[in-house]
Chain A
Amino acid sequence: MLNTKSILTTAIASSLLLLSACSDNDDGFPETPAPTPPAPAPVTFQFEVTVTNLTNAQPMSPVAVLLHNEGRIWTTGEPASVALETIAEGGDNSQILALDVALAAKGGESPLAPGASQTMTISNLETAPERLSIVTMLVNTNDAFTGLNAYDVSNMAVDESISLRVGSYDSGTERNSERANTIPGPVSGGAGEGFNAERDDIDIVTRHPGIVSQDDGFRTSELTQAHRWDDPTMNITIRRLQ
């Protein structure tokens, strides 16, 4: 499939040729095909990713979307990387987006509100990406995140799409105190601490146990019944565009 850029290039080249040869046809479309085919265009792999926040009141930090061939973003039962800890505790996706394995990386332009959807496209030239990963923090928590981990897209055909629902994880790097000063989301007015290098929880990634909330007997929790959730937490639709 030719990409848009190479079609434009051909049209411009043809147009220039016509300008020099014939002045009464200025619509840019040659009456006869150009004799020389264009050079082979670089193959582009492009995916459209749509994410929907399925929770009641857990805004999600700007998502990180990666195309990669190597590695995983997390492994259940293993300690979180610092990059994962950084997004899981504070919603900062910059280290995930900068991972060495990334063939292409795309960050969400804004947080993803409960019930909201965002669509973005991510591309990489020439190298066929095998895996797609997505990470985002549930920001009214200590260190909860959701996403997709090294999902195999290598067999997706152009125009093929798939929808997935994913659950929530606990990075295991920060105790689930639910105290306002440890939660960076709106519940603390954004004043709660995000990333902290200290690891005072079990230091392994697991599925998230959910939050307790002050309404369910956790007296020092800043969270209310509204911040509870159950899995799944996010709907993801991936469509290969090119």
Chain B
Amino acid sequence: MTIKKLAAVATLVGSSSLVSAQELEITITNLTHGIYYTPFIVAAHDGTTSFFRSGTPASPELQQMAEGGNIAGLETIFTAANANITSNPAGGLLAPARSTTFTMSTDDGNNYLSVGAMLLPTNDGFAGLNNWRIPSEPGTYRVNVNAYDAGTEANDEIVGSGAPGEPGFPNPPPVGVVATGGTGVTTIETNTNVHIHRGNLGDDDPTGGKSDITNYVHRWLNPVVRVTVKVM
């Protein structure tokens, strides 16, 4: 993760141990060339809430998001934690290189930010920012976010289901995976913990090959999302 402070005003806001509520303007940018994001979940919460942790198994709620883009389960978790939540700020899929900007007000103590969404087309890839400490100092901060594999589904790279536990990935418009007939890249998921995604393999065969994903369109390099947080 790279954190870059663009500007800061030297004030003593937040110098006491009580962190007051904050006004945030957040921009989420899709940095990839050919990947769409399902609706984002954005939550400001306390320091004891995590929606994923690398090297540990995904929760069922994370699995729902990573395999099918369903953030209802994570909304429930964050609501129970008294988080401030923004769901689906882009109003649907966020296309390559597109951004969405919105404001959030955070309650006292909700000074950690988490952001998540599924990458399409992938089986269970997601972009995740976990427990980023929201600075108390006003300014604009940029955070680069990497792509993770939830470890819950084999990366067969075949158009199929977005339901947890079912193979394949959903292909809603305008994701537009048009290749068919792939035989499947793999049927096993050897690392069942959350880990950095190894990327799509894909192939160049629209009617066969191993994958329904197109290798020269649907690959990426990290980082895959930028979150710009303006602390008012």
Contact = CB atoms under 8 A, between A and B. Distances in A.
Interface residues on B, range: 20 to 34
B33 interface: yes
A176 interface: yes
A206 B215 contact: no
A76 B97 contact: yes
Given A216-B215, A217-B201, A218-B215, A209 B34 contact: yes
Nearest to A212: B215
B33 A206 contact: yes
Interface stretch (B80-88, B132-140, B216-224): B216-224
A176 B214 CA distance: 12
Contact of A209 (B32, B201, B209, B223): B32
Main secondary structure of the interface of A (DSSP, over half): loop
A178 B218 CA distance: 15
Contacts of A178: 216
A230 B221 contact: yes
B96 A204 contact: yes
Contacts of B96: 202, 204, 206
A: interface residue count bin:
20 to 34
Given A204-B97, A209-B34, A177 B204 contact: no
Interface string A207-234: 1111010001111100000000011000
B203 interface: yes
Given A178-B216, A230-B221, A207 B204 contact: no
A210 B97 contact: no
A90 interface: no
A219 B215 CA distance: 11
A114 interface: no
B99 interface: yes
Contact of A212 (B34, B97, B99, B219): B219
Nearest to B215: A212
Contacts of A61: none
Given A202-B96, A212-B216, A217 B31 contact: no
Contacts of A76: 29, 31, 97
11 contacts: A76-B31, A77-B98, A178-B216, A202-B97, A204-B97, A206-B97, A207-B31, A207-B220, A209-B217, A217-B204, A219-B204
The 6 A-B residue pairs with the shortest CB-CB distance, nearest first, are: A77-B97, A209-B219, A206-B33, A207-B31, A209-B33, A206-B97
Interface of A: 76-77, 167-168, 170, 172, 175-178, 202, 204-210, 212, 216-220, 230-231
